[in-house]
Chain A
Amino acid sequence: MSTAYEPVIGLEIHVQLGTRTKMFCGCELSFGDPPNTHTCPVCLGMPGTLPTINREAVRLGLMIGMALGGELDDRLVFHRKSYFYPDLPKGYQISQFDRPLVSGGSLGDVRLERVHLEEDAAKLTHLGESGRIGGSTASVVDYNRGGTPLAEIVTRPDIHSAEQASSWLRLLRETLRQLGVSDVNMEEGSLRCDANISIRPVGTDGLGTKTELKNMNSFRFIEQGINAEVARQTRIVQDGGRVEQETLHFDPRSGSITSLRSKEGSHDYRYFPEPDLPPVAVPTELFDLARAAIPELPLDREARYVDVHGLNDESARLLAFRRELGDYYEATVAAAGATPDGEAAPDGVTRPAEPADDPADTRRQIANWIGNDLVRRLTAEDADDDAAGDPQASKVTPQALAALVALVRAKSITRKAGGQVLDALVAEGGEPAAIVERDGLAAIGGGDELRPVVQAALDANPDVVEKLRSGNMKPIGVIVGAVMKETRGRADAGAVTQLAREILGL
């Protein structure tokens, strides 16, 4: 039998920082504007120009380092990384080399090597069918992107499957989004990921020869690309060959992998300290500003929802990883009087005079209503998960949702009727109690009102009654369904079952 191999994967993520201006000049950042309209002599590399450091980019870099638990350098040291290409106007990229702003750290189960600051290259478009430089008829450069501040985040090789790579990258993206350091849009290139991939026999510790896979601009392509490369390397090794160290390009259209440049042509970047930017101390106020700006991050929030709020893992993760849902959830919990002891309610939420009778259950119900019912109603069918509706922008106020959950918990309305109330709230807003009143959705109370309806349903289904009498309770659903239909969902399924048993003497 052939040996089984496992992938060893490290990621390099380039994040465009959400500053107002570029890394080393005063040009404003842009996306989609006419080419070469956000340029100046500095970012065009005109003779005689010099770079100056964007402090805001440093602050955002520090925030990333703090959020990921890395060690922060107190000096800013830049190097030049040299290579010739038209997307690099100076012939070198100003980057960091042996003293990155951040060393170490981790996110989830993946350790980080470093985070460093650098400038983005310009955008090169090769005209022609292939879209690649080979075979193109001409190439044009848009320097608008050139000089955009980047944080390059480099992981340790702690990832062992394409799926893990993709899900960890989602975690990173959400963390960066909630930090507010970038808009992390993969299609627009504000978050880009390269993967260093090698394979090794399962159960061994060594590292095989790695390849670098570039150009995977969606989570799907990352999974496809890594899987394709792992399969390619496995085939090579199983056929007795050796993996060559090289840089590879993933073509999402064909799913194929092609070599960009092999080791023989590998670059000597000739790093040396950037003499135009002498090392400077990071101003202490930047550390303070960065620290003060760090919000609660998704993993911390998820843990709090599980440990303190008593939510299940699935709800906790959903609410923590979509900040707008989490914020809305906490506002609703506060409006319901179910904020856990020791936690402050969000600003602007009026808490009720009476706390909820079972705060933990109330929170779980609210989480369910938001995570299942509300999100589904607010999300357009064709939208991907990023574009899902924000409840804070909907007509459903946290107070209204809290009131709706209270009505259901008190069995004043059924859960099914609650869904109808929520439909009305999403469509027109308003107060649940008023909607219940207006639409006649109040639960049918005790036996007096419900008993004749149950009796009628039993009478109409003698075959079901026979099975129930013989001890087979499965067909009770038919009776419940008939009653629900008759009452337009206002009956409580438990009460219907209970009444049927009473009537039949079971």
Chain B
Amino acid sequence: MTDPTTLSAVDQVAALRAGDLDAAGLFAAYRERAAADDTNSFTWLADGPDDAAAAVPDGARARSVDGPEPTFDVPADDALSVRGLPVAVKDLFCVTGVPTASCSELLRGYRPPHTATAVARLQAGGATVLGKTNQDEFAMGSSNENSAFGAVLNPWDRTRVPGGSSGGSAAAVAAGLAPVALGTDTGGSVRQPAALCGVVGLKPTYGSVSRFGMIAFASSLDQAGVLARDVRDAALVLAHLTGAADPRDSTSIGWQGDALGLPSADRLDGLRIGVPTDLLGEGIDPGVRASFDAALRTAEELGASIVEITLPHARHALAAYYVIAPAEASSNLARFDGVRYGNRAAADDLVSLYTRTRHDGFGPEVRRRIMLGTFALSAGYYDAYYGRAQQVRTKVVEDFATAHEQVDLIATPTSPTVAWGLGERTDDPWAMYRADVMTLPQSLAGVPAISIPCGLDDGLPVGLQLSGPAFGEPRILDAAHALERAIGFDGTPPRSGRTGEGGAGGADATSGGGAA
């Protein structure tokens, strides 16, 4: 038969159900591809389908979270089955007994005693964990160069970054190393790497997917998301991630939208798509803009109307985000002190233990954001920074609410540029931060958004972002599905992709003990 890894996840599970494919064979096929990976997408690979499920350290079950064990409501619809589907999981999702470091030196070798709800829900539906994927350390970054496990290479061009922070998940799906992958999105960390790697990236409504077991970056923004080859595959996984509220996550509010299924729309009749003109000023590459405009014309051909809108406060989202996210991160990362777990530096006294452990364990970008956040929360500065940023956030939320009185969905390019060269922006954090200028407003507003490939610029993928109101995922998925079919993007990177001079990040990439 044909190579099963060329099939979509939806077709794979259908073949598994029909008996045309067996789960062990499918897993082995991906395992083999992932083991031969040259993009450094994985930090750990399971030996077999039961590896992650069975890897329970002694006593870990008994010492696991004492409290109500959530019951996972698996979708009853056969068409939404994930039984036998291998899933790649971003490193920051805790999986019992499986190395989980959030790609930080500080946590290298750490094996958690509990499994993240998002992963456990997929496992409850019969999916298997293929491996852990590379990411920016603690999800802080837009290029996946901030990883203790080395940079990830973009499968479309191995001299370029895959985007971040879910760079490994995006690259693995783009390179056909996994059918689908879990990522997390705090300011664009699913959507932006999806755009740069030419795959689909879905960030659900904040609160719809439990954060329990995700190593936190910024609590009020972090949201688990999906990277997939096409929109239907993303919808398939979303149906499993969502459900009843997780009693172990107080920010989890349960699925409150229309029933989730596999999207089938091929027309956009009557759909009003807003284009925020004030976000589409300078800084967008002409090639990206051309692909975006072409996608809008396609939408009109499918029956949608394009409406110019404004999001007056969205231009302040970047500044607000880079106060709120580091502030929360500085607090969330305080627990990494070397006292109870993780890698501890040798020290003679308590203060040295803390400072050396944290200095040696955290990379430069993480240290930078901890310092930024600590400053923003300091006495005398709180109101001017954190308080002010929260006010901006409220305004951004209102902007989206106002816009959605006029339009059903909002479209922007996902990233102002295509994938850039490895190392190109590592000394310019500001250029790096601006990569997320289109995705940050939706993150602050907590609304759902998807990135789908909408074309190539100089041979590199361009992403189209569609967002909607909270729990608007069904409509977003339908529209994305119709556009995806009409655009007809070929998601397969050129055979083996372009390679650089020995791979600029390659030396780094393997030094960190990447794939098993």
Q: Any chain B CB within 8 A of the CB of A478? A: no
Contact with A along B313-346 (1 / 0, CB 8 A): 0000000000000011011011111011100000
A133 and chain B: residue at smallest CB distance: B350
Whether B331 contacts A48 by the Cβ 8 Å rule is: no
In the bound complex, residues from chain B placing their C-beta under 8 Å from that of A51 are 250
Contact with A along B38-72 (1 / 0, CB 8 A): 00000000000000000000000001111110000
In the bound complex, residues from chain B placing their C-beta under 8 Å from that of A82 are 331, 334, 377
Chain B residue total in the interface (Cβ 8 A): 51
Q: Any chain B CB within 8 A of the CB of A111? A: no
In the bound complex, residues from chain B placing their C-beta under 8 Å from that of A41 are 63-65, 112-114
Residue of B64, B213, B327 near A48 (CB, 8 A) is: B213
Whether A40 contacts B331 by the Cβ 8 Å rule is: no
Contact with B along A28-59 (1 / 0, CB 8 A): 00000000000111101111111111000000
Q: Report the minimal beta-carbon distance from A330 to chain B, rounded to whole angstroms.
A: 42
In the bound complex, residues from chain A placing their C-beta under 8 Å from that of B156 are none
Whether A92 contacts B334 by the Cβ 8 Å rule is: yes
Q: Any chain B CB within 8 A of the CB of A475? A: no
Whether A91 contacts B212 by the Cβ 8 Å rule is: no
Contact with A along B113-149 (1 / 0, CB 8 A): 1101000000000000000000000000000000000
Q: Any chain A CB within 8 A of the CB of B374? A: yes
Given A46-B112, A50-B249, A86-B350, A27 and B66 touching (CB < 8 A)? yes
Q: Any chain B CB within 8 A of the CB of A26? A: yes
B116 and chain A: residue at smallest CB distance: A48
Q: Any chain A CB within 8 A of the CB of B216? A: yes
Q: A272-280, A302-310, A408-416, A428-436: which lies at the B interface?
A: A272-280
Whether B114 contacts A26 by the Cβ 8 Å rule is: no
Task: With a 10 A CB-CB cut-off, give which of B63, B65, B107, B336 has the most chain A CB atoms.
Answer: B65
Q: Report the minimal beta-carbon distance from B107 to chain A, rounded to whole angstroms.
A: 7
Residue of A48, A53, A90 near B212 (CB, 8 A) is: A48
Q: Which residues 354-391 of B sit at the A interface, judged by CB distance below 8 A?
A: 354, 374, 377-379, 382, 386
Q: Any chain B CB within 8 A of the CB of A141? A: yes
Contact with B along A278-315 (1 / 0, CB 8 A): 10100000000000000000000000000000000000
Task: With a 10 A CB-CB cut-off, give which of A26, A84, A89 has the most chain B CB atoms.
Answer: A84
Q: Report the minimal beta-carbon distance from B130 to chain A, rounded to whole angstroms.
A: 20
Main secondary structure of the interface of B (DSSP, over half): loop
In the bound complex, residues from chain B placing their C-beta under 8 Å from that of A275 are 218-220, 251, 328
> CA separation between A435 and B65, bound complex, in Å?
61
Given A89-B340, A272-B377, A48 and B114 touching (CB < 8 A)? yes
Whether A270 contacts B378 by the Cβ 8 Å rule is: yes
Whether A48 contacts B247 by the Cβ 8 Å rule is: no
Task: With a 10 A CB-CB cut-off, give which of A21, A27, A41, A89 has the most chain B CB atoms.
Answer: A41
Q: Report the minimal beta-carbon distance from B495 to chain A, rounded to whole angstroms.
A: 39
Q: Any chain A CB within 8 A of the CB of B214? A: yes
Q: Report the minimal beta-carbon distance from B127 to chain A, rounded to whole angstroms.
A: 19
Q: Report the minimal beta-carbon distance from B34 to chain A, rounded to whole angstroms.
A: 24
Whether B113 contacts A46 by the Cβ 8 Å rule is: yes
Whether B378 contacts A25 by the Cβ 8 Å rule is: no
Residue of A39, A90, A272 near B334 (CB, 8 A) is: A90
Whether B328 contacts A91 by the Cβ 8 Å rule is: no
Q: Any chain A CB within 8 A of the CB of B199? A: no
Q: Report the minimal beta-carbon distance from A454 to chain B, rounded to whole angstroms.
A: 78
Q: Any chain B CB within 8 A of the CB of A323? A: no
> CA separation between A106 and B197, bound complex, in Å?
64
In the bound complex, residues from chain B placing their C-beta under 8 Å from that of A341 are none
Whether A52 contacts B215 by the Cβ 8 Å rule is: no
In the bound complex, residues from chain B placing their C-beta under 8 Å from that of A21 are 66
A-B contact pairs, 16 of them (CB 8 A): A25-B65, A42-B67, A47-B94, A47-B336, A48-B216, A50-B250, A52-B67, A90-B335, A91-B335, A91-B337, A92-B331, A92-B334, A270-B382, A272-B331, A272-B377, A275-B328
With A46-B112, A82-B331 already in contact, 14 other A-B pairs whose C-beta atoms are closer than 8 Å? A21-B66, A41-B114, A48-B116, A52-B249, A52-B250, A53-B250, A90-B334, A91-B333, A270-B331, A270-B378, A272-B327, A272-B377, A272-B382, A275-B328
Closest 3 CB pairs of A and B: A91-B334, A26-B67, A275-B219
* A residues with CB within 8 A of B: 21, 25-27, 39-42, 44-53, 80, 82, 84, 86, 89-92, 133, 139, 141, 268, 270-272, 275-278, 280
